[in-house]
Every structure is written in C-alpha cells, then in structure tokens.
Structure 1
Amino acid sequence: MTSFPLARRSALSRRTLVGVAAVAAVVCLWSSFALSTRALEGIGMGVGDAAIVRFGVPALALSPWIPRTLRRLRGERPAVIGLVLLAGLPHFLLFAWGAHLTSAALTGLLVPGTVPLFVTILLAIRGRAALSRQRLIALAAIVAGVAASAALTGGAAGPDGIAVLLTAGLVWAAYTLGLARTQLDPLGVIAVVSLVSVVAALALAAAGALPSQLFTGSIDLPAWGAYALLQGVGTGLLSTACYVVAVKNLGSSIPAAAGALSPVLTAFVAVPLLGEHVTPGLTVALVLIVSGVAAFALAPSRPPARTPF
C-alpha cells in the first residue's frame, strides 16, 4: 500500500532534479551568450563572422527540418513570418552593437530584463493587456531599473548603448508576440530563423557591409570553434532544449523567474573574465530589474475577477 506513494514521490523528486538541472544550464548558457558577444573584439572575430557561426551551426544541425518548415511557411501570414525572423540577424546585430557600446553586465541585464515590459506595451497598444496589481508593480521595478542603469552606470557611450539594448529588447518582444501566433513548432522556428539569418549574414559579409575575416582568409580556427560551441550549439540549440525540459518538469513560472539570475551571473563572471566592475549603479539596476522580472513571472497574469453582489 505504501509503495505507490513512495514511487510517486520518487518520480516527482527526479522530475524536480531534472528541472533544476535544466534551469541551471539555461542560466549558464544565457550568460555565456552575453559574455561571448561582449568578448568579440578580443578574440579577433568580426560581427559578420559571429553571425555566420551563430546561425550557421543550428541551420546545419536542423537541415532535415528545413524542407518541411519551408512548406509550412506557405500557410503563414507574412506579418507573422516577419515578426519571427526578428529573432535572427536583426536582434543579433542590435545585441552585438549594444554589447560593444556598454558592458557584458548591462547587455545581459537590459535585453532579457525589459522584454516583459515591451511585451506588455505592445499588447496594450492592441488593447489586449489586462494586468494584475502585482505585475504592474513588477513592471514599475523594471522601469526604475532601466532608469537607474541610464543614470548611475556612467560612461560616455553608456546612454547610446543602453538605447541600442532597449531596442534589442523591443525587437525580442515583437518576436515573442509573433512566436505566439505562428503555426511552426519550436524546431521549425529555430530552423527558419537560422537559415534566413545565415544567408543574410553571408551576403552582407561578402558585400563588405558587415566586418568579417571569412572572405579575407585570415580566420582564427580555435576562436571560431570556441564560438561555434558557445553560440551555435550552446545558445542556438542547447538553451532552447534545456528551457523546454525545465518547463515540462517545473512548469512555466519557476524557469521564467529563475532565468532572471542570468544577468547576475553575467555581471560577476565579467569581472575576472573581461575586467569589468560591479559598480553601485549597476548593483541598483540589477536588483530592480532582476526582482521585477522574477516578480512578473511569478505573479498572476490577470487581476482577479470581480464577484457580483
């Protein structure tokens, strides 16, 4: 009689452990994306090279899905396809530009940290935002954190970089809305975004519009290999897979909230790795935005319904 409850508890414990391990992997992989993008200049790769590697690896890995995905695109609305494709080269270039102008800590903080805010704004514009008071307070904390990052972090190029990173957050929010409306499965989304992005990156690099060492024959193979592992395999494939595993084992709220730890990890790893500093202004911004994102993920999405008297 007691074996069934024990077996059930054991299964729940295994699911929890698997989910926690997947969340930890997601946090590390998201942090490595910000750190490796910020470190581009130091490893001798142009942004065009980084884009080719970032999207080329998943495009090759998911090539068996590409014909089926392209057939399914015929039933998609062009506006939805356009929103989904924003997650590729447009977002990557904004992310890399903002990282060049600011720091790894701000890059890892402002882009994912402001996505809930911009999603809410875009839904409000369409008249589809009904928020609970807890989520409104969480969004206010995010806004205060963005203001703190702009006012307290300092640096001559800081405001420009912050503006670029906020634009990257807005682009990712638009992609998120497109993702909710597309009929493509997750692998199909990754495949089509990677294919279009790597083709566009190759064309722009060949035309000289993106800095690239590929067409001069002076590529650093070890750097390309390391970047392919971090960005192509890590960010392009593993982070998505681990996030799906985390959601399936823990539900959606906990992984979304735990993902807010990624900027904290990025900020502290950037100290020994890139020689950056955790300033008081950055600490204030980190606390406000990370707590706001976590609170937003854990709070109820809509206000409680009023009961008639």
Structure 2
Amino acid sequence: MTSFSVTNEKSPSLITGYAGGTVTVLIWATWLLATRHSAATPLGSIDIGLIRYGVPALALSPVWLKIGLLPKSVPLHLLALMVAGAGAVFFLVATLAIHATPAGSSGILLGGSMPLATALIGVFIFGERPDITRKLGLAAIVGGVLILLVQSLADASLPWTSFVLLPAGAVLWASYTHAFRRSGLTAIQASALIAIWSFLIIAALAGVFGTSLAQASAEDLGLQVLSQGILSGLVAMVAYGTAVKTLGGTQAAAFTAITPVLATLGGGVLLGEEIGLAEIAAAVITGIGVALSTGIAARRR
C-alpha cells in the first residue's frame, strides 16, 4: 500500500540541502522587496548590479584568482549558462520586470516559475522522471501562477512585460541550476565565477551608460549592499548551490516557490502594496506546491 507522509528521518546531507533551500528563499524574498524598493530611488539596474556582484566578487576574490576565470575542467558552454542564468543577464532581465511589478506578483511569476522551468528542462532534456507527488506539486505551482494571470487579465493590473520577462528570468535560472549541477564546481567556486564575470559585464555597461551611485543616499546604498551584495549575491548563491548539490536541481529549485508567500506578505506589510484574495490564494497554493515538489512529503511503501 502506498501512502504519503512527512519523513521524520533525514540524512545530514538532506538536512543541509533543506537548510540551504530555506536560507535561499528567505533571502530571495528580501531581494525582491529591496529591488522593488529601489524603483523609488535614484538607483537603476546597472547601479544595483554593480553592488550585487561587486561585493561577492571582492569577497570571493581568493577563490576565482585560484581557479582562474576560465577553469579548464569546466566546459565553456556550462560556464556561459551559469553566468547568464544566475548572473548579469538574469539580473538585468528580472530587475527590469520587478521595477514595474508589485513584490507579491513578482514572487509568484519569478519564484513560482523557477521550479516549473527547472523540472521541464530536467524532463525533456535530461530525461528526469518526477514521481506523482512532485507532479502534483508542480501542478499546484502552475495553478498559483494561473490565478494571478487571470486576475491580471481581468483588471489589467500588470504590464505584459511582467508575464514575459519574469518567466524568462525563471528559465535562465533553471538553465543555471542544471549547468551548475553538471559543472563539477563547488557552490563557492561557482558563486565566485558568476560574481566576477557578472561584475565585469555590468561594469562595462556602466562605462557605456553611466551610473547613478553618487546620487543615492547612504541609507539606500546600505540597504542594497546588505540585501543585494551580501545576502543575495553571496550568502544565497552559496546556499542555493549547496541545495542543488545535495538535493538535485529540480528539488532545490522547488524551494524558490516559497518566495511568493513571503514576497506577498512583505509587499503588503513593508511596502504598503495592496494584497487581494487572488494574490493570497495564488501565494498559498504555490506554497503548497513547494511542499510536494521538493519531496518533503516523502513517499512511503
């Protein structure tokens, strides 16, 4: 007989993976709120990008200096997917959309789409076969996104860019997840390479388009250094990489779908954004999908 229950005994590696996933989503919710808040400051996407990747690039400089910018053991296409998927390209695409999208909706469209995109890439490209529990979880995540989509179409509350750029960002992140898992790099090594390459890319853009860092207040800069550079750019990257290594790409990515719940609550409490029944329902359903698709609800025979 088959039943489903929450597993009480977890190996140390699984506990580490779950801890890494939990830390990641807590920081990601903070990142979404901080990025949304930056829309009301002089800081643009390039400015925030310099902070997000400059801080970890400096902190992890001993790592990337040791292994080199192009490690011989890592295929170039995997490195490119990692830098694009979790680095400069992902950041610029996501930030552009988040500036025009409420935090709760951003969390649903980005965080909710990530596990789905990761699972689909795993199934159709790498031949992964999720069990029925994870399929139900992914279906719940899709349901949460659809609720938000229907609500948006009914009242025209979100621009079309939200529904294009945020899922595109999710696909980029999913590509990074699978590329990192196959790269052979440690979480710290991958974080270091992504940080330095992304910083160089965004620094080049700053040289062309300029920067507004000097116009921002010390308070705004401090908030972004903490949320973007230290927490999101450094701690969350290492934590997520640890989760991918221990849980696998699809299960680790499923944790990101907790972000909508936290971002919705944070957007309402901290940013004063309106939270309706549709947003609450979408966040709750998506959160339930996480519990299933991460494998926390373990299958017992």
The alpha carbon displacement at 1:71 in A equals 6.3
Would you say the 8 A contact 1:113–1:289 is kept in 2?
yes
Structure number, greater radius of gyration = 1
Would you say the 8 A contact 2:254–2:290 is kept in 1?
yes
Structure 2 unmatched runs, 5+: 1-9
| Alignment equivalent of 1:274, drawn from 234, 259, 271 | 271
The alpha carbon displacement at 1:229 in A equals 1.0
Aligned to 1:74: 72
Aligned to 1:5: none
**Structure 2 counterpart of 1:180, which letter?**
R
Q: Which runs of 4+ in 1 moved over 6 A?
A: 15-24, 244-248, 253-258, 299-302
Alignment of 1:213-228 (within 5 A): 213-214=212-213, 217-228=214-225
Q: Distance in 1 between matches of 2:105 and 2:180?
A: 26
Residue 85 of structure 1 pairs with residue 86 of structure 2: no
2:128 is paired with a residue whose SS is coil
Aligned to 2:32: 34
Aligned to 2:50: 52
Alignment of 1:162-201 (within 5 A): 162-201=163-202
Q: Distance in 2 between matches of 1:247 and 1:74?
A: 22
The alpha carbon displacement at 1:115 in A equals 1.8
The alpha carbon displacement at 1:212 in A equals 2.7
Alignment of 1:84-123 (within 5 A): 84-86=82-84, 87-123=86-122
Would you say the 8 A contact 1:135–1:300 is kept in 2?
no
Q: Distance in 2 between matches of 1:173 and 1:27?
A: 15
Alignment of 1:237-248 (within 5 A): 237-241=234-238
**What RMSD, in angstroms, separates the aligned Cα atoms of the two structures?**
3.4
Assess, with a 3 A threshold, how the Cα gap between structure 1 residues 88 and 256 changes in structure 2: closer, same or farther: closer
Aligned to 2:6: none
Assess, with a 3 A threshold, how the Cα gap between structure 1 residues 177 and 44 changes in structure 2: closer, same or farther: same
Would you say the 8 A contact 1:145–1:284 is kept in 2?
yes
The alpha carbon displacement at 1:179 in A equals 0.8
The alpha carbon displacement at 1:155 in A equals 3.4
- Output one character per residue of 1:157-210: Cα deviation in whole Å (capped at 9) or x when no partner: 4432122111111110011110111022111111111111111111112201xx
Structure 1 unmatched runs, 5+: 1-11, 305-309
The alpha carbon displacement at 1:128 in A equals 0.4
2:112 is paired with a residue whose SS is helix
2:39 is paired with a residue whose SS is helix
Alignment of 1:280-291 (within 5 A): 280-291=277-288
Residue 233 of structure 1 pairs with residue 230 of structure 2: yes
Aligned length: 285
Would you say the 8 A contact 1:69–1:192 is kept in 2?
no
